Amino acid sequence: MMLRIAKTKVCLRNLTAPILWEGIKTQRNYSSGVKQMMVREALNSALDEEMAADPRVFLMGEEIGEYQGAYKVSKGLLQKYGPDRVVDTPITEAGFTGLATGAAYYGLRPVLEFMTFNFSMQAMDHLVNSAAKTFYMSGGNISVPIVFRGPNGAALGVGAQHSQCYAQWYGAVPGLKVVAPYSSEDARGLLKAAIRDPDPVVFLENELLYGQSFPVSDEVLDPSFTLPIGKAKIEKEGRDVTITAFSRMVDYALKAAETLEKEDINAEVINIRSIRPLDRSAINASVRKTNRLVTVEEGFPQHGVGAEICASVVEEIFEYLDAPIERITGADVPLPYATNLERMALPQIEDIVRAAKRVCYRSIPIAAAV
């Protein structure tokens, strides 16, 4: 079944077919109505619209067809587009990642689902050495328009081997673009942009966000809507401290900001959205205003996304800092299975609150308390 894909994709007619979204350039007027949409629905609608607009787009992964996806992100797409464009694969990440990467070399636009990004380790060679490096090694002659998507980071009680955050892993690789959506707007806009992008994009979702609903405007629901890769979003403006976060940690940062408001600390929360490229200018602009920085992520502390942000701020705008930077990360251990230990190993809202109070000199520093 997998090799059957090539039949329609090698046809020159398909490769030169008009791409509907390329023609959507006109300005539109949108109503102010706001609807609720779950993250999985936002992802599903983005896949559906991009498949309808571009015959080169196809899906591949384990249980994405007949079972409609482990998290129902691909629900209804097999029935609509057929098995040539929604391809169930065996449990062989190395095999189907290599096949999809080769299809991208040929001009197709595969969207590859890992049931969890922990399984992408089986396909690391194709992802890092083939997809990420080919454009450079071919002298710019071979583009690799492929999306690697699936749940990333900790869920609940799934153990150390299924709970890792790969933002810092793939964020270190030249040739990859890496995004981590938080809201339904993020998920829909960034996935559509990723599918249209000429380069390989690692799309890090979160299992615990799939069923969460967010408000979306008519503009977000328009088929032409995309979000630019490489641009952060200020989720909440503030003046006293900058808090950066991505994926599920944005929710924690916003809740921490609500708590801080009660103590007259006005925090600015930045949803990074894009791990690579990183929107350094947005972060720097915020820190110039607040003069303080707390970074939040659930991954390991060493060589993390927060560490890169800290280095960037110190290198570029050190003179604006009025306090040491605080990093909130997961513990430097394999994630425990036991519920109580798992909670202790992951960032919590109270951790962010305490860090923000420390940089605002509203609590006793850790070093002084020891």
Just list the catalytic residues. Answer: 93, 162
Distance of CA 309 to the CA centre of its chain: 17
The tokens of 272 are what?
């990074």
Is the Cβ–Cβ distance between 292 and 360 less than 8 Å? Answer: yes
Cα distances from 63 to residues 11, 83, 85, 260, in angstroms, run 27, 12, 14, 44
**342, 362, 344, 340: which is closest to 353 by C-alpha?**
362
DSSP 328: E
What is the dihedral angle through the alpha carbons of 292, 295, 296, 301, rounded to the nearest 10 degrees? -140
Separation CA 281–CA 313 (nearest Å): 10
Distance between first and last Cα of the chain: 62
Is the Cβ–Cβ distance between 249 and 296 less than 8 Å? Answer: yes
Q: Three-state DSSP class for 242? A: strand
